[in-house]
Amino acid sequence: MRDSSKNSAPENAMAAARRAMRPALRRRVYEKAAVTPVADGHAIVLDGKPVRTPAGCVLAAPSAELAQALAAEWNAQGEMIDPTAMPLTRLANAIIDGVCDQPGPIAAEIEKYLASDLVCYRAGGPRGLVERQRRSWDPIVSWAREELGARFSLGDGVVAVVQPESTLAAANAAIPDDPWRLGAVHAVTTLTGSALIALALAHRQLGTEEAWQAAHVDEDWNMEQWGRDDLAMARRAFRHAEMQAAATVLAAMDGR
């Protein structure tokens, strides 16, 4: 009888590693999530009891629309509560615990991305990729120039492009001050690798899917040439859900 243990060991090790990365799930002990007004907004309550962030703050949103979306995530949970299926709650926790009291460092991170933004670094070839980057990214650069007064320089390959101080100052001025919008823009920036894409989304220059596609021009091109990897696609789907959560925050704050 053939011993298959050698063949199965790597796969089992990878499966074990993936299981170890999954958060421990808690059993759902509440019947209904709802929204209740509080002094600083709208809190999410489970059977009347307030939800707390990891730092112990009340999970509350500044708009009723956003709070309802958060409550919907909690109501959508099954027998077990799966944090990986709650991207909006994760983002809200991060904003409440990490942005509201200290927005400065978050804005500074976005500024760093602007200094070496994805859309300013163009491929020298092949021609098809060059054209896709131009179609997706040139409108964003033009918007920054015309609406923000920020004239970004473009470069080929990985050679560093030093942006004019006046350009960075103009773009930095477009970074939101409101902690919720700031946190959402920061999330989009880190997910896409581009603060300009994030700002264009926040200023309604791009829709959510347009922004997502602009961030993945290179990746999509490579997948067309070399094929798709299942694990990479799973990670991408997870990030896409986080992108949608950030867009939900921005839309809710616009309609506040």
Mean pLDDT of 154-175: 95
Per-residue pLDDT, 23: 61
Per residue in 76-105, pLDDT (tens digit) is 999 999 999 999 999 999 999 999 999 999
Mean pLDDT of 161-188: 98
> Sorting pLDDT into bands at 50, 70 and 90, what band is 256?
low
Per-residue pLDDT, 22: 57
Q: What are phi and psi of 73, to 5 degrees?
A: -60, -45
For residues 123 and 246, membership in a common domain is answered with yes
For residues 138 and 69, membership in a common domain is answered with no
Percent of the chain with pLDDT over 90: 84
* Structural domain contains residue 6: no
Per-residue pLDDT, 171: 98
Per residue in 5-39, pLDDT (tens digit) is 444 444 444 344 444 445 678 899 999 999 999 99
Q: Under a CB-based contact definition with an 8 Å cutoff, are residues 67 and 43 in contact? A: yes
What is the distance between the alpha carbons of residues 134 and 64, in angstroms, rounded to a whole number? 40
Q: What are phi and psi of 50, to 5 degrees?
A: -65, 145
* Structural domain contains residue 235: yes
Range of the domain at 135: 103-254
For residues 154 and 250, membership in a common domain is answered with yes
* Structural domain contains residue 13: no
pTM, rounded to two decimals: 0.89
Per-residue pLDDT, 139: 98
